[in-house]
Structure 1
Amino acid sequence: MTTSTAIRRHANSSMAGKKVLYIVSNPATLMGFPVGFFAEEMTGPFFDLMRAGCTVDIASPKGGKVAFDGFSDPENEATQYPNDLITLGFKHHATFGKLLENTPSIADLDISQYDAVCVAGGGGPLVTFKDDTALHKLIADFYESGKIIGLICHGTCLMLWTTLSDGTLMADGKTWTGYPDSEEQMMDAALGTKVNEYTIETEAKKNPNTTFESAAPLAPFAIRDGQIITGQQQNSTRLFSDLLIEALAE
């Protein structure tokens, strides 16, 4: 198992032919507000992977137009990340910005074309991923095909539900991280209410066969356990990318 707690700059490597599927949540509603996926948790690794030589496709469970969480969009009036230049560059790029207008559905994908799958977090995943058995199966199929799985922040909720063909959870026997209760509590305190009905860490700890770990609140932290790479939250995107690229280069 590899744990990353400090940023490492990876050199450009030749990975031409490596193809990564990046899944983002479809739009949803949480506490009466529209939610989607956390911008930097997709745009950061997207550019890191491309710079390393990979091809990256963006898809969503249901297909169609997808959107950033408002507070993660540097141009949204409610943003908390006005200086996210990577996301600004993505939005205004002649090709990349249009990729969010009409994403393919996972039902239309051939996983044999990909070497890895990544899933961004944000407000949408806890709302839309829990009962999405097609998405769970897609992740299980990637895993059982020996491919790399990358999950970050609330995207790691898929560790709670992805069941393999033998009936065991993909999380069994694995050490991983995700958005921890300490950060959920910070978010709840900032908004003055409980935001999510359940939390990843609390649910993970109900499974005696898996190990959930986290660093201090908002600290960069990522873990690689075999094929599975997980990142704690948006501040972990560079560590997450480094571990993905390391795994893809093997």
Structure 2
Amino acid sequence: MDLKNRNLVDPKRAKRVAIVLANPSVNTVAGWPCGFWWSELSHPYYVLTEKGCEIELFSPNGGRCEPDAMSDPRDPNGFSTADLISMGFIHTPTLMEALEHTAKVSEIDVDRFNAILVAGGQAPMFGFDKATDLHTKFVEFYEAGKIAAAVCHGVAILRYAKLSNGEYLATDRTVTGFSNIEEDFVDDALWNANLLPRGRRLMPWRIEEELNSIGANYIQAGLWRGFAVRDGNLITGQQSVSGIETAEVVAAALGL
């Protein structure tokens, strides 16, 4: 193979991380639009760029990506009001412009990057089943010995990612992701606010249940506690308050 003109990872230059966001979708359970979660983009972006990483944004289909409303610190719901890191991202024009023009996941040249990080939000639960290019790229990173990471509902990728031998990537590996107790908390809050019929779950399936069903060793740190775990070059973060922890584990794995 002629590598002369290929822009490969150079150990002397900054580490490169591909952050993947879900494209806008619809929560078919609740009937509302959904997308990525702000803190699962902005917090890793902040941590990793502060450590000198170069970040590029991708999505399965490319193009504009939109956040879940509850994750926006400006939203009247007040859920994310204290998220000053996301507010800083929102008020940085060049970063917001990047969200309008994400590249397609299929365009990721794995040789150019040291890690892939899949952010969550509601949209992965309704669109990642069709994101076959993402399934493939995530496994390519992993099988190349590079960091393959996901946080919160971005961990949905592990329901679909299979190794070249046909086995699930997550089987026999220690992982985390949005927990059942957190899903229960969200469902209960929506029921009490009359935003969802009582007894109906917001998500069509659950990360913890699915990971256990494919033979993963699922663990979690408790309700809304920042937590991330590394098993070899697979890194997973528990939920939306785990963006910083996930990025710190990724950075450590990259030797930063």
Fold in common (TM above 0.5): yes
CA RMSD of aligned residues (A): 1.5
Partner of 2:195: none
* Secondary structure of the corresponding residue to residue 188 of structure 1: helix
1:199 to 181, 206, 223: 206
Q: 1:190 & 1:37 partners in 2: Cα distance?
A: 20
Q: Unaligned 5+ residue runs, structure 2?
A: 1-10, 192-199
1:41 has 2:37 as partner: no
* Secondary structure of the corresponding residue to residue 103 of structure 2: coil
* Secondary structure of the corresponding residue to residue 205 of structure 1: helix
Task: Kindly provide the amino acid, as one letter, of the partner of residue 241 in structure 1.
Answer: A
What's the TM-score once normalised by structure 2's chain length? 0.89
Task: Kindly provide the amino acid, as one letter, of the partner of residue 21 in structure 1.
Answer: A
Cα deviation 1:6-45 (Å, max 9, x = unaligned): xxxxxxxx98421000000000011211110110011001
Cα deviation 1:181-232 (Å, max 9, x = unaligned): 1111111111114101110111112123x20111111111110111011110
Over 6 Å off, 4+ runs? none
Q: 1:234 & 1:60 partners in 2: Cα distance?
A: 19
Task: Kindly provide the amino acid, as one letter, of the partner of residue 194 in structure 1.
Answer: R
* 1:1-250 → structure 2 map (5 Å cutoff): 16-30=13-27, 31-192=30-191, 193-208=200-215, 210-249=216-255
Task: Kindly provide the amino acid, as one letter, of the partner of residue 202 in structure 1.
Answer: E
- The size of the alignment, in residue pairs, is 236
- Once the two structures are TM-superposed, the CA of residue 79 in structure 1 deviates from its matched residue by 4.2
Q: Unaligned 5+ residue runs, structure 1?
A: 1-13
Q: 2:163 & 2:54 partners in 1: Cα distance?
A: 27
Partner of 2:8: none
Q: 2:94 & 2:132 partners in 1: Cα distance?
A: 31
* Contact 1:16 1:53 survives alignment (8 Å): no
Q: 1:76 & 1:179 partners in 2: Cα distance?
A: 23
Partner of 2:197: none
* Secondary structure of the corresponding residue to residue 74 of structure 1: coil
Gap change, CA 1:15 and 1:28, over 3 Å in 2: farther
Q: 2:177 & 2:146 partners in 1: Cα distance?
A: 20
